[in-house]
Structure 1
């Protein structure tokens, strides 16, 4: 059944939704002992099948307990966790500075899969941020300098800031774009170090297959051990 939506002047109602029907199945007995190994397998398998598989919802919480969520791009998965980059003055960075925990969710609609991550956060090293920043497109480098992310601005303020940054670093319109633009001090990476990961496979009648990994508190930080459980749909 296709999704059916009813729209009226004061209400939107979703009356029916496509059924999930994945042939995949997961259980604690079939997944690897390390959840990052399973994530890498899944992420590699969806390349070409899923549009923008690196897009993920990032949720942070203020010290007063107010949550906020936005979409960011996953840029690296290593033995420690999940890395993305942003402005360190942005709302999400300020909230993670104050409350160093976050959650991630990646939804791959085309293959009926979802991954959820919860953990503490830390900034990556400046060397890691510089290495990533060097490979960014020129426009993105200029944007990192020009945008005071999450602040209120006037209508033409951003365009003015871009022109100021282009003049500062000698960027000429239509000219040589091999311009050395350094990493701003207010910009860099965050790493989410997972304490919990859930892998979800969509099934008919909402009877989804769900497996959760929980980091064991007594296991070493550099080589964590995991408790693996099946969750009810």
Structure 2
């Protein structure tokens, strides 16, 4: 009996130690996971999802919330149109006569610009950006020149709605292959508050002014100089023969007498 009692006590101590160890392990897991949203025994799929999705991709996965660039229409494309002035209902223009000679091989062309036709809604403007010729041999540049009231260059000029009384100019540089009768037209950009207004402006009926035609304004200097020289040579030649007959025949007459 003395030997059995210590065995019973030892077994009780071992059981008590096992129970305390189990209780202690459970308490430790609960304390470590107290601040996590996941349960104490998370599933493998949950951990893989969180680790496989970086924070940066989660915030900007759908192009950071921005719509697709190909979706929707750009309103600016409806209210801005670029092309020939006449095609988009821009201001009409007309030739103001023969080009003026600034110096040899450098001419000036003056042009009148006006909207004309039906009134143009407020907020509409047209920018003259390019001068186009129908034949080679003529370079067209911007510039203020001439004596016919041009106060601005036609190129780069912005004409607002219903603006009138505009006179602009172009600087012309003819090349060796320039041809008389070369015509000039303009291209530019029409801007409107809305696309509907651009449609109305483009549908306007406007009577343009005289077409811009360029002829060589410089006189044919090479042809005039020979004519002047011939006239100067003929005048002294007529006076000399009048004196020679008076003296010439008298000498033979004296010998015969």
The structure whose residues are more often helix, as a share, is: 2
- What TM-score do the two structures reach when normalised by structure 2? 0.19
- What TM-score do the two structures reach when normalised by structure 1? 0.21
* Greater C-alpha radius of gyration: 2
